[in-house]
Amino acid sequence: MLRKPPFGRGAAAQAGPPAGRSGLQPLLPFAILDDKGGGENPDGAFPPSLFARPCGRESLAFALPPGHRFAGRESLSFTEMNGETMILMDNIGFWNFVRTEKMPDSRFLIQSDSFSFQELLRSSTLPAFTTDLAKIYLKQTPGRIEVPVSDPEGSVTYYLVCRRETAPAFRALFAAL
């Protein structure tokens, strides 16, 4: 099943939204799927005309202050955190479904620049989200306890996708995955 990108359920991920279009676009370089499948065509998610290989994973976690009531937990569900006020970066892409579908009773202080977000995170006791990829590529805020999301929707597998007839041209790239 395709993860809901910011511009519509079942749409392939791309640089910008295709203004009202949905469905898999076979010419796009990649799509974002959840982690229920694996291999070349997980759960038949791609049409036979496309070739796909997993190329990475990302898992969501709650970044909690030490005094938070759930800070000692090994994992947390969206349902358990629903209703909390949280700090959130704007433009979070396909992860936006968490805010709208999984935590509809929560309030989010949405920040549009990383400096404001980091300052609020550093100086407040409000929870936020982070991912395992953010730990690699972004500066982490000290004093936060990361508690992984237990829901299956809290993890995604990224797939590199091309038209099946062009797959031989990308053999080296697919082999490197």
In a domain, 127, yes or no: yes
3-state secondary structure 97-125: HHHHHHCCCCEEEEECCHHHHHHHHHHCC
In a domain, 19, yes or no: no
Domain hosting residue 94, numbered range? 60-152
Domain count of the chain?
A: 1
First vs last C-alpha separation in the chain: 21
In a domain, 20, yes or no: no
In a domain, 123, yes or no: yes
Per-residue pLDDT of the chain (177 residues; tens, 9 = 90+): 344 333 222 333 333 333 333 344 444 444 444 443 444 555 567 788 888 888 888 899 999 999 999 999 999 999 999 999 999 988 887 788 898 999 999 999 999 998 898 899 889 999 999 988 887 777 677 789 999 999 999 998 888 888 888 888 888 888 887
Q: Cα(160)–Cα(177) distance, rounded to whole angstroms? A: 9
Q: What is the pTM (predicted TM-score) of this model?
A: 0.71
In a domain, 158, yes or no: no
Q: Residue 65 belongs to a domain with what CATH number?
A: 3.40.190.10
In a domain, 128, yes or no: yes
In a domain, 130, yes or no: yes
Instruction: Decide: 167 and 160 in contact? Cβ < 8 Å.
Output: no
